[in-house]
Amino acid sequence: MQQHESKPRLPVVDITTATPAQKEVLDDILKGPRGNLAGPFLSWIHSPELAQPAQKLGAFCRYHTQLPLRLSELAILCTAAKWQAQAEWQIHYPIAIEAGLDADNVERIRLGRPPAFEARDEQMIWEFVEELYENRRISEPLYREAQERFGIEVLVNLVGLLGYYSLVAMTLNVFHVRHGQAPLPFDEPAGSAAE
Residues in the chain: 195
- pLDDT score recorded for residue 30: 81
Report CA torsion sign: 186, 191, 194, 195.
positive
CA distances from 165 to 100, 101, 141 (A): 21, 19, 25
Pick out the chain residues at pLDDT < 50.
Answer: 1, 3, 194-195
CA distances from 74 to 26, 120, 126, 156 (A): 27, 13, 7, 16
**Closest by CA position to 50, among listed 132, 168, 178:** 168
- pLDDT score recorded for residue 195: 42
Note the pLDDT tens digit of each residue in 106-131: 999 999 999 999 999 999 999 999 99
Contact 70, 157 (CB under 8 A): no
Note the pLDDT tens digit of each residue in 51-80: 999 989 999 999 999 999 999 999 999 999
**CA–CA separation, 2 vs 17, rounded Å?**
35
- pLDDT score recorded for residue 17: 83
Max CA-CA distance within the chain?
A: 54
Would you tell me how many other CB atoms lie within 10 Å of the CB of residue 94? 10
- pLDDT score recorded for residue 154: 98
- pLDDT score recorded for residue 77: 98
